[in-house]
Amino acid sequence: MYVIDVVISISIPIFLAYLYSTGRISRGIWLMFWAGALIGSTWELGFYFIGPYYSSSPIYIMRSPNPFPLIFLSLLHTLWDGALFLVGVGLVYLICKPPHLTKFRWSELSVLLIWGVSSELAVELTATYSSLWEYQRKWWNPVLFKFNNQNITLIPQLVWLVAPIIFYLMALPLNRRYGAQRRRAISA
């Protein structure tokens, strides 16, 4: 499972770089990916430092042997986060009425929020089902429910309730500034 995780993580920016260099995605989308990865780095690195290597009472424990340094996986997971945000952007384009990401709209933010929380829950359920890691109960990280006899806790869910808001507020100006340039270039 870890090898698949690494291969997909590395493939994400390579694939997006190809799409960007061939004009299939705008500079705005390319920059949104990196904005999402940057946002993801806040919790990926934060959780790394309050995880099993640096804390006597870590927020999570690894349930299966990790063949890679944990910091390597944490950094690679920022790329996954960027991709998850872009999937949310894709859903905005599919579900919401145009124009997309030009001004604040509750419908767009709602799609990003629902996608963010849903994808986080899917990641946690997959990790606990596969016995990869488990978040630990803390007074500040209560257990929401058990799955596969392991904890699904509040903090990772809250992260993906706040992060889409920050991402959306970054995506709007990126799309206004760089997304329209691609459309003008194609129509010219």
pLDDT digits (tens, 9 = 90+) for 146-169: 999 999 999 999 999 999 999 999
Predicted local distance difference test score (pLDDT) of residue 179:
82
What is the number of structural domains in the chain? 1
In contact, 116 and 161? CB cutoff 8 Å: yes
* Bigger pLDDT: 147 vs 2: 147
Q: For residue 30, give its domain range.
A: 2-187
Is 126's pLDDT higher than 60?
A: yes
The pair phi, psi for residue 4, each rounded to 5°, is -60, -40
In contact, 85 and 32? CB cutoff 8 Å: yes
User: pLDDT-derived band of residue 130, with 50, 70 and 90 as boundaries?
Assistant: confident
Closest CA to 106 of 163, 168, 49: 168
Global confidence as pTM: 0.91
Average pLDDT in the 183-187 region? Answer: 41
Q: What is the C-alpha separation between 182 and 85, in angstroms, rounded?
A: 20
Q: What is the C-alpha separation between 175 and 27, in angstroms, rounded?
A: 8
HSE-up of residue 167 (Cα within 13 Å, Cβ side): 37
Tokens representing 24? Answer: 């299939």
Predicted local distance difference test score (pLDDT) of residue 69:
83
Q: What is the C-alpha separation between 61 and 39, in angstroms, rounded?
A: 23
> Which of 65-74, 91-100, 179-188 has the weakest average pLDDT?
179-188
Is 3's pLDDT higher than 90?
A: no
Average pLDDT in the 10-31 region? Answer: 96
Average pLDDT in the 73-84 region? Answer: 96
CA quadruple 100, 101, 104, 107: dihedral sign = positive
Is 173's pLDDT higher than 60?
A: yes
Predicted local distance difference test score (pLDDT) of residue 185:
42
Q: What is the C-alpha separation between 78 and 110, in angstroms, rounded?
A: 22
Predicted local distance difference test score (pLDDT) of residue 132:
86
Q: What is the C-alpha separation between 55 and 154, in angstroms, rounded?
A: 19
Average pLDDT in the 45-60 region? Answer: 91
